[in-house]
Every structure is written in C-alpha cells, then in structure tokens.
Amino acid sequence: MVTFNAIRIDKDDGEQRAAYVEMSDDELMDGDVDIEITHSTLNYKDGLAITGKGPVVRRFPMIPGVDFTGRVTTSSHHDFQPGDLVVAGGCGLGEAHYGGLAERARVSGEWLVPLPDRLSSQEAMTIGTAGVTAMFCVMALERFGLTPDRGPVVVTGAVGGVGSVAVALLARGGWRVAAVTGRPEQADYLMRLGAAEVLDRNEFASPGKPLQKRRFAGGMDTVGSTTLANVISQIDYDGAVAACGNARGMDLPASVAPFILRGVSLLGVESVRPRLELRREAWTRLAKELDHAALAEIRKMIPFSQALTRATDLVDGKAQGRIVVEIG
C-alpha cells in the first residue's frame, strides 16, 4: 500500500474544514490511470472550495485542485503508458472527483491530455484551467467571426488567472487589449503582458445606461453581474462578449437593448466538461501561441506547504496571475 500527502476537505456536523492529511492509494476514487503529481495550481474555484466560501464541493471528503500535471505510474487506458507526462483540468476535479492538490491521483484517461512538447510542467500549470478557459473564449470570439481589425477588445478581471492569460493571448494575436482591473498598482504588469491600456474597474462597477458609448468590438468577461452588463452596453455593432466567470455575482442586470439594437451577442464559455478533442486543440494552440516570457511573468511558484494559506489570499483578491503549486 502506497501512502501520499494531500489536502483534504471534510465536513462534520455541517462544518467544512481543509487540512493536510496522509492518505493511501486504496482511498483514491475510480479511474483507469494512476498519476504521480508533480505540479498543481490554485484557481479561484479551489480557493472557494478550501475556504468554504462557495458551494464548489459536491461530495465529501474531497481533495481540491482542478488542475495537475504528472507522470503516469499505471494505466489500463489505451492512450497512456507508465512514464507518460500528462496534464488534467476541469472534468469535475476538485468538485466531484479527487483533484490535484495531492501527491497522487487516479482519473479517467478520457480526462487527460499529453503534456505538449513545448511546455514544461510548470508552464502547463501556469496555463491550467484558467488558460484553457481563456483560450476557449478566444476560440469562441473567432468562431463568431471577430478579428483584430474590427477594433479593441476588453478583458475584465485582467489581473486574475483567466484574465492574465487572456490579455497575453489576445495581445499576441494582434488585438488591442483594454485590461480592466481594480488594482491600479498592477498596471505595469498588465502592460508587460501586452495590454494597450488599463481601465479602472470602477468604470464598470455601477449600473449604467442600457446603451453606452461604443468602445469595443468584443470582450472577455470573468466577473459577471453589473460589470458584464456594462461591457455588453459598450460593444460596437455586431460585436460579441465571451463570458466565463462570476467573480462578482451570478446575476446579469442588463437590458435587451444592446442585443436588439446593436446586434451584440453573448457567448457562454464553460471549461468543466471533458470534450477531449476541444481540450487538445486548446492545449496545442496554447503551447504555440503563448510567449514563454509571458508565462514566467504570470507564474508565482509556491511549495505545497503554502497552498492552504495562499488559497485564502486568492479568495480575498490578494493574488496576481497564476499560483503554481510544486507538489513533487
């Protein structure tokens, strides 16, 4: 029997708590591939799960962590052999199935993507589900037909994980990016990622007119609520917004006016379902299109021992970019 260290969330008498524990392989959940984890990340969703500030966990006990990279140790799946380097994200990890904030994992091979040759494990986790979500948003805008020559694109929550990768991706793709943040001290960071201008989130925080000045050809929103409503109201004719987050709230206090008077479209983006071919396409593009210097700028490395503390910082809005956790 092999033992390993993990962060485990338990719930006793209605009280949720997270702690470092020692577990054994026979406690892992069902799957056809076993992995020795080398790196994981802290996403906003992981922060909510660990602190109990959001209804993320769907069963207890739970190992949080929606992302991980590692090396296959045993496999009965036809696509993977012992020694293969793999990356996983979404697919219910850290919510309904034990996730990546542990030294070992057992998952379905249908949830795994081979680690792209151009990326190290640290770089892959700098991208993680946040980066895959950002790429899904870019792909949604592309499928809609938007191109950089249409005008600028706005990214909300730009200092966060999804926002940071989105700014870097869009700028590399030739877009003029307006990055929205409530942390003006991070303006230099956003400009280094490629933002052409940095906007104060207060411009989007209060309820505004249903139709405002047309400022952007498209948008990527990670915030939701009034922020998304204001972004929609500032999109030019026949533009679109890809929405993927709800950091401010699940509500959308908007009007139909931008949709029926300007032809604006709202594109919903989710990154939990496996959809293996789409994930592989996203990872292939991310490996080619993201600049390694941008990844280094975004990444903050921490040891596994600091993950619980940094999860609280993340939920409290004190984190920048992507927090990569060194497990192995």
Strands of the chain, DSSP E: 3-12, 15-24, 33-42, 67-75, 85-89, 104-107, 112-114, 153-155, 177-181, 197-200, 216-221, 235-243, 265-268, 299-303, 322-326
- Mean pLDDT over 5-16 rounds to 92
Q: What percent of the chain shows pLDDT beyond 90?
A: 89
Q: Would you say residue 132 has pLDDT above 90?
A: yes
Indicate the pLDDT class of residue 267, thresholds 50, 70 and 90.
very high
The ranges assigned to domains in the chain are 3-115+298-326, 127-268
The pLDDT confidence band at residue 247, using thresholds 50, 70 and 90, is confident
pLDDT of 125 strictly over 90: yes
| CA angle 41–46–48, rounded 5-degree value | 150
Cβ atoms of 87 and 107 within 8 Å: the answer is no
Distance between CA atoms of 286 and 281, rounded to whole angstroms? 9
On the question of pLDDT at 1 being above 80, the answer is no
Looking at every residue in the chain, the average pLDDT score rounds to 95
Q: pLDDT of 133-154, one tens digit each?
A: 999 999 999 999 999 999 999 9
CATH architecture group of domain 3-115+298-326: Alpha-Beta Complex (3.90)
Question: How would residue 255 be classed by pLDDT, with cut points 50, 70 and 90?
Answer: very high
Name the β-bridge partners of 61: none
Closest listed residue to residue 122, CA positions, set 36, 37, 39, 35: 39
What's the pLDDT score for residue 202? 96
Smallest CA-to-CA distance from 21 within 122, 106, 125, 104 is with: 104
What does the alpha-carbon distance between residue 95 and residue 272 come to, in Å, rounded to a whole number? 10
Query: Is the link from the previous residue into 55 a cis peptide, with omega within 30 of 0?
Result: no
DSSP 63: -
pLDDT in tens, 176-200: 999 999 999 999 999 999 999 999 9
pLDDT in tens, 108-119: 999 999 999 999
Could you give the CA distance from residue 193 to residue 239 in angstroms, rounded to a whole number?
Answer: 24
pLDDT in tens, 12-68: 888 899 999 999 999 999 999 999 999 999 998 999 999 999 889 999 999 999 999
pLDDT band at 319 (very low <50, low <70, confident <90, very high): confident
Fold classified for 127-268: Rossmann fold (3.40.50)
Report pLDDT digits (tens) over 155-171.
999 999 999 999 999 99
Position 207 scores a pLDDT of: 95
Name which of 15-19, 84-88, 96-100 the model is least confident about.
15-19
Rounded CA separation 38/36 (Å): 7
Q: 315 pLDDT exceeds 90? A: no
For the segment 47-57, what is each residue's pLDDT rounded down to a tens digit? 999 999 988 99
